[in-house]
Amino acid sequence: MKRIIYPLPHTHSDFNIDNAYNDEFTVDLIYYNHRYPTPEWTIPQSIIDFTDVTYILGGEAEYSINDEVYPVSAGDLICIPHGSKRSAKTFPNRLIESQCLNIVVHTPKGAPFSLPFPLICRIGNHPDLSFLYDEIQKAVLLKKPGCRLHAQAYILLILEEFYQLLYTKKENRITDFRVRKIMEYVAVHYNQSLKLSDAARIVDLSPVYFGNLFKQQTGMSFRQYITTIRLNQAENMLLNGENTVGEVAELCGFSDAFYFSKVYREQKGISPSKVSRFHDNR
């Protein structure tokens, strides 16, 4: 019996990650289960025609993969490729709890696509992952119009989260799903009036707690983050040349064009009018 937990790779070359993600791929959900097994629970041996992506929440089990036995426990990620021989069992006094996805991963032309993840690795406890898995369960159970797209979207988010955990340096990673939720919200609503209290209310946290959490995760205050997003969008619009400086300021959430110009110059080192003229002279 082997106890092999692959170390988290420190460079992309370990799994040729750059090449893998240069290709487009899509996923189809075959099966989802938040597994609370009985002592008699097993996965019978078979050759799987899907990719098994299982996140262990608690307990212990033994997985046999291509005739090699691997003990797994809480915090382990299992990624068993299409075409593998697989079986599993748990232990009566250490019943496993896991969230399991069986998916078909393929290119747009239908060719099989191999996810660039280790067979087994330790990623630790991440409540935001459980939240994403639960969203898939909602889609499966409710079966509302568009539920298939809903499930696919969250599967891709889960795979992206695994990618970040495995291949992104910890200090550069946003790990809290509530902070990521607000970042996604700001990306859509950056041109609106956004206060820290509004963001905290969205994720059901107090403004003080959320403000500290946001700065801890991003390295900047919520106000600084919004300003950065607005200025980056303003730069894109100025380079595009379709709007005046005043229009860009308003479209990016600045109520005062003079204040916008001042902040833009301070942050970008150049006035917005010069950026606009640069486009005109191209």
Per-residue pLDDT, 278: 60
Confidence of residue 4 (pLDDT cuts 50, 70, 90): very low
What six digits make up the tokens of 245?
A: 């400086």
Place of tokens 């200090």: 171
Tokens representing 145 are 């119009």
Q: Is the pLDDT assigned to residue 11 strictly greater than 50?
A: no
Residue 208's pLDDT is: 96
Structure confidence at residue 51 (pLDDT) = 95
Domains of the chain: 12-170 (2.60.120.280), 174-282 (1.10.10.60)
Helices 177-189 and 127-142: angle between axes, nearest 10 degrees: 70
Report pLDDT digits (tens) over 212-267.
999 988 889 999 999 999 999 999 888 888 888 999 999 999 988 999 999 999 98
pLDDT tens digits for 13-63?
A: 334 444 444 457 889 999 988 888 788 889 999 999 999 999 999 999 999
pTM over 0.85: no
Q: Can you read off the two tokens belonging to residue 237?
A: 């619009």
Reported as a single tens digit per residue, the pLDDT across 132-171 is: 888 888 887 877 787 888 888 889 888 988 888 888 755 5
